Amino acid sequence: MLDQITIHQLDLFLMAAKLKNFSRAADQMSISQPAFSAQIIKLEKILGTPLFERIGRRVDLTDAGVMFMEYSRKSLTALREGKQAIDDMSKKVMGVLRIGASTTIASHILPEYLGKFRTLYPHGKVEMMVGNTNQIEQALLRNEIDMGLVEGPVTNRGIEQYLFMMDELVVVYSKEHHFNNLKEISFDEFRKEPLIIRERGSGTRKVFMDSYSQKSEQPLNIVMELGNTEVIKKSAQANLGIAVLSLSSIKSEIEAGTLRHTYIEGLSFKRKLSLITLKNRYLSNPLKAFISILSPQEPVPWATKVPPMEVDEK
């Protein structure tokens, strides 16, 4: 009976386990909900046990489902790495590169590098997920992505971390704000202002809060916690408060004059943007090629040892 289980069924199962909703999972996999449900039911019949508990529209994994999820991930990872290894035998950059990136990196830094990759390797396909540092770390540990680019520290021992580039956080405010082009503001001035900040789990928030807490135990006047950099910028433009954002994320607004920035006297918000990969993971040609294009400030040992690869002809 086990030979009747398909890769497609495992993909559907893992998506349902992640989203805990058949309808949303079906939309994500671009199939109808009845077809999705039918495949899950078929998988449960093959295994001889329910994998999900249905509670209204929500579904939760049974004990058997939790156990099967780990084996499903390992099976799909092994199959995908096997297919990628065959593609890599040609020394060309073919197959899928799955990247996870923090919001600021995905929106304001990565596009240039992705453009270079697509120009050099038109047969390579890129899939990208965007989230905060914690979400990218967890996706890497679940083998949902091949590499990540994050704004905050990662502590899991199963992950290798390399310096990609340095970045700087700045205080951002509306052109109508009373700071009015001040090059620096005092600690007290900053602390008293209404502050718009990223959500918990964000690398930007962690770097900022860690730096701030080293200088002061005074509470901040946080008025909004938002999970999207663009929404924070719009809120700051509307003079709803000041914000702390990456300088690279506000370049266009600074040039257009819709936002301004300043620094806090005696406080630096410089941070490391990191490239992360799993230890002991198969390293595909697309992954090696993309890291070569990124040219991280801290060399990735296995990436520097690979021979030059053939650039695909268009």
Block residue for tokens 């390992």? 74
Does 232 lie in the same domain as 182?
A: yes
Does 73 lie in the same domain as 6?
A: yes
**155 lies in some domain:** yes
* 238 has a pLDDT exceeding 90: yes
- The pLDDT value given to residue 10: 92
Does 205 lie in the same domain as 231?
A: yes
> Using CA atoms in the order 143, 146, 150, 155, what is the torsion angle rounded to 10 degrees?
50
How many domains, the chain? 3
pLDDT digit string (tens) for 110-129?
A: 999 999 998 888 888 899 99
Instruction: Give me the mean pLDDT over the 56-65 stretch.
Output: 90
Query: What percentage of the chain exceeds 90 in pLDDT?
Result: 55
Does 35 lie in the same domain as 58?
A: yes
Query: What percentage of the chain exceeds 70 in pLDDT?
Result: 93
* 267 has a pLDDT exceeding 70: yes
Q: Distance between CA atoms of 13 and 68, rounded to whole angstroms?
A: 10
**206 lies in some domain:** yes
Which of 142, 138, 136, 129 has its CA nearest to residue 96?
129
Q: What is the pTM of this model?
A: 0.66
> Using CA atoms in the order 297, 303, 306, 309, what is the torsion angle rounded to 10 degrees?
-80
Instruction: Give me the mean pLDDT over the 277-302 stretch.
Output: 84
- Please tell me what DSSP assigns to residue 190: H
- At 61, list the tokens: 């994994």
Does 300 lie in the same domain as 185?
A: no
- The pLDDT value given to residue 255: 92
**123 lies in some domain:** yes
Instruction: Give me the mean pLDDT over the 72-101 stretch.
Output: 79
Does 256 lie in the same domain as 121?
A: no
Choose the weakest-confidence range: 23-27, 35-39, 72-76, 158-162: 72-76
188, containing H or E segment: helix 187-192
- The pLDDT value given to residue 259: 95
- Judge whether 190 and 243 are in contact, CB under 8 Å: no
Q: Which domain holds residue 58?
A: 2-78
Does 146 lie in the same domain as 294?
A: yes
**309 lies in some domain:** no
> Using CA atoms in the order 91, 93, 99, 103, what is the torsion angle rounded to 10 degrees?
130
Number of helices (H) and strands (E), helices first, in the chain? 13, 12
**CATH number of the domain to which 8 belongs:** 1.10.10.10
Instruction: Give me the mean pLDDT over the 135-150 stretch.
Output: 93
Position 307 confidence tier, pLDDT thresholds 50, 70, 90:
very low
- At 45, list the tokens: 């019949």
- The pLDDT value given to residue 309: 52
**310 lies in some domain:** no
- The pLDDT value given to residue 303: 61
**14 lies in some domain:** yes
Angle ∠(85,112,83) on CA atoms, nearest 5: 10
**313 lies in some domain:** no
* 306 has a pLDDT exceeding 50: no
Q: What is the CB neighbour count within 10 angstroms for residue 35?
A: 11
Residue that wins the pLDDT comparison between 270 and 274: 274
Does 47 lie in the same domain as 58?
A: yes
Q: Which of 78, 98, 119 is the last residue of a domain?
A: 78
- At 130, list the tokens: 């965007």
- The pLDDT value given to residue 203: 80
Residue that wins the pLDDT comparison between 31 and 216: 31
- Single-letter amino acid, residue 300: V
Q: Measured between alpha carbons, how far is residue 203 from residues 40, 140, 200, 244, 271 in Å?
A: 37, 16, 9, 12, 10
Does 277 lie in the same domain as 161?
A: yes
Q: Which of 25, 57, 78 is the last residue of a domain?
A: 78
Question: Where is mean pLDDT largest: 210-219, 248-257, 274-283?
Answer: 248-257
**CATH number of the domain to which 191 belongs:** 3.40.190.10
- The pLDDT value given to residue 2: 65
In this structure, what are the phi and psi dihedrals at residue 188, rounded to the nearest 5 degrees? -65, -40
* 164 has a pLDDT exceeding 80: yes
Does 172 lie in the same domain as 161?
A: no
Does 229 lie in the same domain as 142?
A: no
**197 lies in some domain:** yes
Q: Which of 32, 50, 78 is the last residue of a domain?
A: 78
Cα dihedral sign, 267-250-132-114: negative
In this structure, what are the phi and psi dihedrals at residue 62, rounded to the nearest 5 degrees? -75, 175
Does 279 lie in the same domain as 161?
A: yes
* 301 has a pLDDT exceeding 80: no
